Amino acid sequence: MTVPSFFIYGEPDKQLDIGFMHVETVMERRHMHYGRVDAHKHDKMAQITLWTCGQGSYFIEDQKLDFIAPAASFMPSGVVHGFTVDADCSDAIVASIADSALPPIAALSMLNFDQPVMVRGQRDHRNWQNLLTIMTRVHEDYRQGAATSLAALIAVATNDMATLASLDHASTQGGNDLAQAFRRLVDSHFRKNWPVEHYISALGTTPHLLGKACRQAYGVSVKIFIDQRRLLEAKRLLLFTVRSVEDIAYEIGFHDPAYFSRFFNTRTGLPPGEWRNGQKNRPA
């Protein structure tokens, strides 16, 4: 039996408009599934789901993941998924995003858009409230036809998910306070161009222990993690402000704008100005 591919759940697959996005709650389609959504996929569309209440089981490929709200997931296109929940007390906000709309969002996000993510832990962390606020805004703006804000809001939401995913991963590995402390320190000091040794000293650890914690929690080396954070900030400033490339270089800790341009070009394949123009010219 072939796993069905849907447009929106229960609707036949069809060609998506460039930049297509759709937002609704799970229970808006309650009459179609009554809390049970069988295995299916979306061939050219990713989905973000934030469970705001209730509990149930989520199915991702061959995994079954039980959850109690709040919980959130990111499903890339082509990933088989489904869920079973109590239809009388469960609901979620679902944002469906065409693959064609993902690149500018991914450019501003720390979340890995190439693999499915399910976040269930750290229920008291403030990012859950942040995520609920942003996804509620996404839903409201979509219903009111304010589509221009959706990509930026979804980028913020996926960054909150990335933070929660790193915490959840750390907790499932028996806790990783060092990696969490490192992430917070990078967020506070990456503009100061701290060398790795400063982070090691501030955290009172050793290069080996910090490197191990960083790779376990985030999958990259300490240096690459810091560079990724600086690159993300550069992209945000290029996309959402009119500040010059030179000004942005200084803002994120580069004393030489030419070196910043080489840094950016090496990691994106384009100089900062060309990358900015390309984002502006991308179809809406």
Task: Read off the pLDDT of residues 156-204 as tens digits, 9 standing for 90 and up.
Answer: 999 999 988 887 654 433 336 788 789 889 988 999 989 999 999 999 8
Q: What pLDDT does residue 176 have?
A: 60
| CATH class held by domain 21-172 | mainly beta
Q: What pLDDT does residue 170 have?
A: 42
At residue 284, does pLDDT exceed 70?
A: no
> How is 125-184 classified by DSSP, letter by letter?
SHHHHHHHHHHHHHHHHHHTT-GGGHHHHHHHHHHHHHHHHHHHHHHHTT--HHHHHHHH
At residue 281, does pLDDT exceed 80?
A: no
H/E run at residue 39 = strand 36-40
| CATH class held by domain 177-280 | mainly alpha
CA 116 to CA 59: how far, in whole Å? Answer: 11
Residue 38 tokens, joined? 């069988």
At residue 25, does pLDDT exceed 60?
A: yes
Q: Is the model more confident about 260 or about 206?
A: 260
CB–CB of 167/80 below 8 Å? no
- Would you state the torsion angle of the CA atoms of residues 243, 244, 247, 253, taken in this order, to the nearest 10 degrees? 100
CA 91 to CA 240: how far, in whole Å? Answer: 33
Domain boundaries, the chain: 21-172, 177-280
At residue 5, does pLDDT exceed 90?
A: no
The b/e string for 136-162 (b: 16+ C-beta within 10 A; e otherwise) is: ebbbebbeeeeeeebbbbbbbbbbbbb
Region class of 180: left (phi > 0), else alpha (psi between -120 and 50), else beta: alpha
